[in-house]
Chains A and B, each alone.
Chain A
Amino acid sequence: MDEAVLRSRTPEVLGVLVHRGADFAAAEDAVQEALVEALRVWPSAPPRDPKAWLVTVAWRKFLDATRADAARRRREELVDEEPAPGPAAVVDDSLQLYFLCAHPSLTPSSAVALTLRAVGGLTTRQIAEAYLVPEATMAQRISRAKRTVSGVRFEQPGDVATVLRVLYLVFNEGYSGDVDLAAEAIRLTWQLAAVSDHPEVAGLLALMLVHHARRAARTAADGSLVPLAEQDRSRWDTALIAEGVEILQAALARDRLGEFQAQAAIAALHADAPTAGETDWVQIVEWYDELVALTDSPVVRLNRAVAVGEADGPRAGLAALAEVDASLPRHTAVSAYLHERDGEVVVAARLYAEAARKAPNLPERDHLLRQAARLNHAVD
């Protein structure tokens, strides 16, 4: 019994229960119990219709829990009066579940935890391990999130942008523990793409696939960072890149551009170059211009300055950088890189060392420190 396959049923089953009138928190508990039961029973007695089996068992668990609660007798009677309809409109229910778990009333960390639990079907322990926090801490965060959305009406249409942001957060967490969050984010985005018809969902999926395809080449054996230009391109997963590009092209053809499609286009242009030197920087700058128009984000402007530096030379890059807020993380690192390309090695070395002190994580700090060291020794 593949646990991942089983987990992929979670949103449909949970959606059916909530659609039938179960409150979210109770339904979620019932579905988790049904999944555990399935793991126990299915290896020796596989069901003919797994979804129907899960719905039946989860619904029974929900009713048991509801009956056990004397204070909820009135709702129990209501439930008994109206026999449950079959699992219809499953597609819509799954989609609603994504919106609910990414509800704007939740903090990003709560939305991520709830999505992994309710849509992804991960156990609290798995999520806690992935985020390196105690299980009790994660359990609190999840139950608080459930309480926050318990009053939210299921029919309310959500904002797909919020859902996509949450999925992208999950993707960028990488992995630790026994759950690979990047792979999990891709699985959930595939699922979302199957039940929604939005070019940005396809855009995010394409972006994740193309990034993921470079994963093996992105870190060296000792865990250190390998920059894009130095990556061994033979280690990129070309099938995954092709899949991402195909999804992206279909999305772009619909002519409803959004930030994830633009980001995916940039990632695809990088992935498309046989060598770093053959990267189509001119087209990448054009996509960054689109992105700036769509988001006006300082981080995008910072990345754009790097692309301008490649397309039009380091002086042009530095001019573009001068218009970006200097307090941004990585601003110093970009400045160091452009100064080095402009031949100002001493300035670049000083900036690399400064950037290392501001680095947000260890692989990045060590990488920047090596850059500073390399230049300091080139000068000696």
Chain B
Amino acid sequence: MAKYLLLKHYRGAPASVNPEPMDQWTPEEISAHVQYMNDLAARLEKTGEFVDSQALAPEGTFVRYDGAGRPPVTDGPFAETKDVIAGWMVIDVDSYERALAVAGELSAAPGAGGKPIHEWLELRPFLGDHSATAE
């Protein structure tokens, strides 16, 4: 078993096929989207492959050490152009192929017009004691 992080990006990732912003969808389309993600998480829980899933607020702050006795330096939040992580899902699966399949399924969540949004997800293997890539 190997753990993978599926990263969702607000911005910074290549544009999805169905990129209309969520506040332009119908309320029903939003519900269908949320339902799809919940169902997927529930299915992965049943197969014992679900680890964790969290959403992040869109704006964060950069923080840096600024020398002894001085308060940390902060910068941001930055507008628009930077890459922003929207949230993640962690799965624990048997193979890289399975991780790809789950990521594909997550990316197919329905959006405007009920069509899949084809969102680009970043798939990152966890570093662990043993190889986290395909056997």
Contact = CB atoms under 8 A, between A and B. Distances in A.
Contact of A224 (B23, B34, B55, B57): B34
A366 interface: yes
B38 interface: yes
A366 B34 contact: yes
A167 B31 CA distance: 34
A222 B23 contact: no
Given A357-B58, A362-B55, A373-B29, A352 B23 contact: yes
Given A357-B58, A362-B55, A372 B34 contact: no
B24 interface: yes
B86 to A, nearest CB: 11
Contact of A370 (B24, B31, B38, B57): B31
B23 A353 contact: yes
Q: How large is the interface on A (under 10, 10 to 19, 20 to 34, 35 or more residues)?
A: 20 to 34
Interface residues of B, number: 17
Contacts of B23: 349, 352-353, 356, 369, 372-373, 376
A227 interface: no
B26 interface: yes
Label chain A's interface by main secondary structure.
helix
B30 A377 contact: no
A223 B34 CA distance: 10
Contact of A374 (B27, B35, B38, B57): B27
| Interface-central residue, B21, B27, B29, by most chain A CB under 10 Å | B27
B84 to A, nearest CB: 11
Interface of B: 21-27, 29-31, 34-35, 38, 55, 57-59
17 contacts: A222-B34, A222-B38, A223-B38, A224-B31, A224-B34, A352-B23, A353-B23, A357-B58, A359-B57, A366-B34, A369-B23, A370-B31, A372-B23, A373-B24, A373-B27, A374-B26, A377-B27
